[in-house]
Amino acid sequence: IVITISGVGIDPVDRLVMQTIARNVQDTMLSWNVTVDPCNPCDNCAVWEGVTCDALPNPKPNYIGHVTNILLKGDFKGSLNLEYFALLSELPYLLSLSVANTVFYGTLPSEWGKITTLTFLSIDAVGLTGSLPESWSSLVQLECLDLSIDEHLTGTLPSSWYQMKSLKYLSL
C-alpha cells in the first residue's frame, strides 16, 4: 500500500515509523502531529518541524517519498526516552540525524547501526548512559559523527569502528 498525498507517494513504512515515534512521545514533542503525514506537501497542512523528505519540494509523478533528514532541537517538554527513537533504524533512506540541546535518558540505540545510508549523525544531549554501540561500525557511509554528550557514557571506542572508512569528522 502506498499512501498518495497531492500526487506524491509517501512510503508507508516511513509514515508508520514516524507516527509510532510521535505517538510514544506526544506528551513531550511540541510540534509533531500524528494525524498528518510527516512528508505531506500540502500548503495548508501542519508540518513536522525538523523532518524533511526527498519528495519535497518538487515531487515527481508517481514517486515514493522517504524521510531523509531529522533535526530534533530541544522542542520538548521534559526528557525523552531514546529507546523510542530506535525505530529510526527502519528508515532506509535516512541521511542525516541531528539531536541538539535535548535531555534524553537511556542508551544510544544499537539499532541505528542498521541505518547504512546515514552520512551525518550529531547528538548534543545530556542524560545518556551506557557505551558506544559496536553495531555502529556498520555505518560505512557516515562522514560526520559528533557526540557532544555528557560524561555518563562508559567504555572505549569500539575497535570495529575502523570499518567506518568514510568518516571524516569524529568528535566525542
Residues 7-30: pLDDT tens digits?
Answer: 455 788 888 888 888 777 765 555
Q: Which residue in 90, 79, 97, 5 sits closest to 42, CA to CA?
A: 5
Residues of the chain with pLDDT under 70: 1-9, 26-31, 40-47, 55-63, 74-81, 150-151
Q: β-strand 8-10 against 3-5: which pairing, if any?
A: antiparallel
Helix (H) or strand (E) holding 114, with range, is none
- Compute the distance between CA of residue 3 and CA of residue 124 in angstroms, rounded to an integer: 34
Query: 110 to each of 5, 49, 118, 131, how far by Cα in Å?
Result: 33, 25, 14, 10
Task: Please check whether residue 108 is in contact with residue 128, taking contact to mean a CB–CB distance below 8 angstroms.
Answer: yes
pLDDT number for residue 2: 35
The DSSP bridge partners found for residue 148 are 124
Which pTM does this prediction carry? 0.82
pLDDT number for residue 136: 94
pLDDT number for residue 167: 93
